[in-house]
Amino acid sequence: MEVLWLAQEEVKSVMDMSSDMQVVEQAFRQHGLGRVQMPPKSYLYYTAYNGDLRTMPAYLEEENITGVKIVNVHPGNPARGLPTVMALIVLISPETGTPIAVMDGTYLTDVRTGAAGGIAAKYLARKDSKIIGIVGAGNQAKTQLEALCKVFEPELVRITSRTKESSEQFIREMAGITPCEIRYEDSIEKVCDCDILVTTTPTRKPIVKAQWIKEGTHINAIGADAVGKEELDPELLIRSKIIVDDMIQALHSGEVNVPLSKHYISENDIHAQLGEVIVGLKPGRTSEEEITIFDSTGLAIQDVASAHLVYERAVNKGLGMKVKMF
């Protein structure tokens, strides 16, 4: 039996944001209809190294595709010359259980998370949104902005991060992707003067204050993806419409996990899952004044759908190395 091995450069060569947004939206649609199997991601915590490891299996029944992602998050890795997030994805045959492909999932994770943010904003942000604010300047900030530019035509992007240098690098790298000015701001408060706010940091204490957010803003809360992480002032959640990617996973590790544990909000304060909004089971934005929040924890269905797209394109182009297992 042979397994197709795809390195990161091969994955990159067949991925594009527009196509990935299509398959990720379809995955959320199936999630909203209850046609997927996806247990919550499981964690191993390496507290001595400020890192963790996650396993994420999923089966999209209608598409008949399945697999599992193994992914780490080690915020200290850049100082060692390594990515903060590294991932490996294994695609499996539902019919026999045999592995059919193993591929780098690091770049794929960045793209599929950006895709989810773009899709969420498509359904939840005001249609006339023109100003995007971004907190954080890493890979995730880049793919979030790329996806938003597929849905909206921004007139200005505000960016801030831990250092001015990282923001300036972000501006240089994104200049050819974003058809408008990208402006460095020296505070998060200034960045919050926007129509769509994206937060992409690993912080464990709120950095976005409720009073900074004006009516009608949509927020993609991306950074909180493990127990104890939070980026938004709990008061902001109280006055907003909250949409999560997956209820069980969000309760455990999403932006809502800390406010829930401290009883600032309850599970009843969570309006919907994104898939439910996409298929029309629950409404998205219902006024120009309400604040909407998309709480993204990152779902295995996004990984499997994206990996299957990569696999099909790689096979068609004759990419990858076939590895004999037994």
CATH placement of domain 1-107+299-322: 3.30.1780.10
Average pLDDT, the chain: 96
Q: Are strands 196-199 and 218-221 parallel, antiparallel or unpaired?
A: parallel
- Whether the per-residue pLDDT at 292 is higher than 90: the answer is yes
In this prediction, what percent of the chain has a pLDDT beyond 70?
A: 100
Domain positions in the chain are 1-107+299-322, 119-297
Please check if 225 is assigned to a binding site: yes
Residue 140 is labelled as binding a ligand: yes
Inter-residue long-range contacts of 244-247, CB under 8 Å, 24+ positions, other chains counted? 244/270, 244/272, 244/273, 244/274, 244/294, 244/295, 244/297, 245/28, 245/116, 245/273, 245/274, 245/294, 245/295, 245/296, 245/297, 245/298, 245/299, 246/31, 246/38, 246/40, 246/273, 246/297, 246/299, 247/273
Question: Is 112 assigned a ligand-binding role in the annotation?
Answer: yes
Residue 146: strand, helix, or coil: helix
Residue 324 assigned as binding residue: no
Q: What is the pLDDT of residue 326?
A: 84
Residue 117 marked as a ligand binder? no
For the stretch 54-67, pLDDT in tens is 999 999 999 999 99
72 is in an annotated binding site: no
Structural element, H or E, at residue 173: helix 164-174
Among residues 69, 122, 142, 241, the one annotated as catalytic is: 69
Residue range 3-21, pLDDT digits in tens: 999 999 999 999 999 999 9
Q: Per-residue pLDDT for 85 more than 90?
A: no
Token look-up 């900030």 returns 141
CATH superfamily of 119-297: NAD(P)-binding Rossmann-like Domain (3.40.50.720)
pLDDT at 199: 98
E strand residue ranges, the chain: 2-6, 36-37, 42-46, 51-60, 65-73, 85-92, 99-104, 131-135, 156-160, 181-184, 196-199, 218-221, 241-244, 270-273, 292-295, 321-324
| pLDDT-above-90 percentage for the chain | 94
Beta bridge partners of 92: 66, 99
**80 is annotated as contributing to ligand binding:** no
Confidence bin at 144 (pLDDT 50/70/90):
very high
139 among annotated binding-site residues: yes
Whether the model clears a pTM of 0.85, i.e. scores above it, the answer is yes
Decide if 324 is catalytic.
no
